[in-house]
Amino acid sequence: MCSILSWRSKVKQKNNLKARIDVAKFCLRGDLQMVQLQNGKLAKPKGNYSFITKDAKSIYKWITKLKMRNGYASNIAGCVNIDKGSMHGMKSHDCHVFMKCLLPITFRSLPKFVWNAIAKIVNF
């Protein structure tokens, strides 16, 4: 066990080809296995727990149109950059409001089995 921990601390962990091959061997996750393309290259399929670009942009647009009551949260819409696809500059309370109240709403667009797993983790 110690050798594994020391090895992992030295190596950067990323979602690379070797990690996806290990997922196919050990985790039995067919939806994350590498896919052979027609030109012979291998491609990583996108995880079903992630948003496609169109969905992510629609979520960012939804956040920019949100109106919060006065004093509940600051301008969360000002923290969104739709072009870059990022949120930054939120204060701690705004981040809490986003994670507690708004993020569960956005997770509803994920597949049902992913949403159920997230809900079980939250309830734990």
Beta bridge partners of 86: 81
Arithmetic mean of pLDDT, 63-72: 81
Q: Is 110 left (phi over 0), alpha (psi -120 to 50) or beta?
A: beta
| Strands 35-36 and 42-43, sheet pairing | antiparallel
pLDDT, residue 6, reads: 41
Give the span between the Cα atoms of 50 and 32, in whole angstroms: 12
User: Can you give the residue ranges of every domain in the chain?
Assistant: 2-43, 53-123
Please, which pLDDT band fits residue 10 given cuts at 50, 70 and 90? low
Whole-structure pTM value = 0.57
Give the span between the Cα atoms of 63 and 102, in whole angstroms: 9
Q: Say which residues have a Cβ less than 8 Å from residue 102's Cβ, sequence separation at least 6.
A: 63, 66, 76
Residue 23 has pLDDT above 80, yes or no: no
